[in-house]
Structure 1
Amino acid sequence: MGIILILIFFSLMSSISPSCKYLRFLSLSYSVCLFFSSINLVENTDGFDSLDPNGNITITWDFLSNNEDTYDVQVSIHNFQLIRNLDRPGWRLGWAWKSDEAIWKMWGAEALQQGNCSRFKGNNQPHCCEKKPVIIDLMPGAPYDLQATNCCKGGVLTSLTQGPTKSVAAFRMNFNKASDNNSENNMPESFTLGVPGYTCGKPIQVPPSRSTKNGRRWEQSLETWNVPCVYSQFRASPSPKCCVSLSAFYSSTIIPCPDCSCSCQSQPGAKCVKPGEKPTLLQLPIDTIEEPPKLVQCSAHMCPVRVHWHIKQSYKDYWRTKITITNLNFVKNYSQWNLVVEHPNLQNVTQIFSFNYKALKYKSVNDTGLFWGIQNYNDILLSNVHTEMLLHKDKGIFNFKEGWAFPRKIYFNGDECVMPPPNVYPRLPNSGHIVTAESSIVAIFLLSLLTMFF
Structure 2
Amino acid sequence: MRVFISAFFFIAIFSYAVAYDPLDPNGNITIKWDVMSWTADGYVAVVTMNNFQMYRHIMTPGWTLGWTWAKKDVIWSIVGAQTTEQGDCSKFKGNVPHCCKKDPTVVDLLPGVPYNQQFSNCCKGGVLSSWGQDPAASVSAFQVSVGLAGTSNKTVKLPRNFTLLGPGPGYTCGGAKIVPPTTFLTPDHRRKTQALMTWNVTCTYSQILARKNPSCCVSLSSFYNDTITSCPHCACGCQDKRNCVKPNSKILKSVGINTPKKSNAPLLQCTHHMCPIRVHWHVKVNYKDYWRVKVAITNFNYRLNYTLWTLAIQHPNLDNVTQVFSFDYKPLVPYGNINDTGMFYGLKFYNDLLMEAGPSGNVQSEILLQKDKNTFTLKNGWGFPRKVYFNGEECLMPPPDAYPYLPNSAHKNLLISFSKLISSLLFLFIVLQ
Aligned partner letter, 1:414: G
Q: Is the 8 A contact 1:309 1:324 kept in 2?
A: yes
Contact 2:149 2:156 in 1 (8 A): no
How far is 1:140 from its partner? 1.8
| Alpha-carbon offset, residue 308 of structure 1 | 0.4
Whole-angstrom distance in 2 between the partners of 1:37 and 1:236: 21
**What is the aligned counterpart of 2:115 among 144, 159, 162?**
144
1:417 aligns with: 395
Aligned residue runs from structure 1 range 354-433, under 5 A: 354-363=326-335, 364-382=337-355, 383-433=361-411
**Residue in structure 2 matched with residue 33 of structure 1 by the alignment:** none
1:200 and 2:170 matched: no
Give 1:312 deviation, angstroms.
1.5
State the SS of the aligned residue for 2:58.
coil
Q: 1:303 to 1:169 in 2, by over 3 A?
A: same
The 3-state SS of whatever aligns with 2:235 is coil
Query: Given residue 411 of structure 1, which amino acid in structure 2 is its aligned partner?
Result: Y
Maintained 8 Å contact 1:313/1:436: no
Query: What is the distance in 2 between the residues matched to 1:436 and 1:221?
Result: 68
Measure, in 2, the Cα distance between the counterparts of 1:294 and 1:39.
35
**Residue 250 of structure 1 aligns with which residue?**
224
Deviations 1:67-93 (A, max 9, x none): 112311110111111221111122100
Is contact 1:95-1:191 (8 Å) kept? yes
Q: Which amino acid aligns with 2:231?
A: C
- For 1:34-433, list aligned pairs within 5 A: 40=13, 42=15, 47-122=19-94, 124-178=95-149, 185-195=156-166, 196-214=169-187, 215-264=189-238, 267=239, 271-277=243-249, 278=251, 288=262, 292-363=264-335, 364-382=337-355, 383-433=361-411
User: For the structure 1 residues 350 and 282, does the alpha-carbon distance in structure 2 shift closer, same or farther, using more than 3 Å as the test?
Assistant: closer
**Cα offset, 1:294, TM superposition:** 2.7
Task: Report the CA distance between 1:210 and its aligned residue.
Answer: 0.9
Deviations 1:210-268 (A, max 9, x none): 1112222322111000011111111011111110011112222222111011112xx48
Task: Provide the C-alpha distance between the structure 1 equivalents of 2:240 and 2:10, rounded to a whole number of angstroms.
Answer: 27
Report deviation, 1:180: 12
Identical counterparts, % of pairs: 50
Equivalent residue for 2:431? Answer: none
TM-score (norm 2): 0.86
Q: Per-residue displacement from partner, 1:186-210 (whole Å, max 9, x unpaired)?
A: 3221110123111111100000011
Larger radius of gyration: 1
Q: How far is 1:3 from its partner?
A: 9.1
Counterparts of 1:417 and 1:241 in 2: how far apart (Å)?
7
Cα shift readout 1:98-141 (whole Å, capped 9, x = no counterpart): 2332212211111111222211112x422222221111011122
Hey, what's the Cα distance between the residues in 2 that align with 1:433 and 1:357? 33
Name the stretch that deviates more: 425-434 or 227-236: 425-434
Q: Whole-Å Cα distance in 2 between the matches of residues 307 and 403 of structure 1? A: 17
1:448 match: none
Letter in 1 for 2:243: K
C-alpha contact 1:296 1:304 (8 A) present in aligned 2? yes
Deviation per residue, 1:302-346 (Å, 9 max, x gap)? 111100011112222111111101111223222211111111111
Q: Write the deviation string for residues 247-302 of structure 1: whole angstroms up to 9, x where unpaired.
A: 112222222111011112xx4885322223345679777665xx612332111101
Task: Verify the 8 A CA contact 2:59 2:128 in the aligned structure 1.
Answer: yes
Structure 2 distance, partners of 1:394, 1:322, is 19
Matched residues in 2 for 1:334 and 1:172: separation?
A: 29
What displacement does 1:145 show? 1.1
Task: Provide the rounded CA distance (Å) in 2 between the counterparts of 1:149 and 1:221.
Answer: 17
State the one-letter code of the partner of 2:280.
H
Given the two structures, how large is their TM-score scaled by the length of structure 1?
0.82
Cα distance in 2 for partners of 1:162, 1:38 equals: 34
- Matched to 1:130, the amino acid is K
Q: CA deviation at 1:429?
A: 3.6
Structure-1 separation of matches of 2:2 and 2:199: 37
| Distance (Å, rounded) in 2 between the aligned partners of 1:269 and 1:328 | 13
1:71·1:177 contact (CA, 8 Å) conserved in 2? no
| 2:236 partner letter | C
Checking the alignment, whether the CA contact within 8 Å between 1:63 and 1:73 is kept in structure 2 is yes
**Alpha-carbon deviation of 1:370?**
0.9
Unaligned runs of 5+ in 2: 356-360, 420-433
In 1, the alpha carbon distance for the partners of 2:196 and 2:155 equals 16
Quote the Cα distance in structure 2 between the aligned partners of 1:419 and 1:235. 20
**CA distance in structure 2 between the aligned counterparts of 1:282 and 1:387, rounded to whole angstroms:** 31
1:43–1:81 Cα change, 3 Å: closer
Amino acid at match of 2:285: Q
Partner of 2:423: none
| RMSD (CA atoms) | 2.9
- In the alignment of these two chains, the number of paired residues is 404
Q: Aligned AA for 2:388?
A: I
Change (3 A) 1:255 1:270: same
Q: Indicate the SS of the match to 2:319.
A: helix
The offset of 1:428, in angstroms, is 2.8
2:184 match: secondary structure: strand
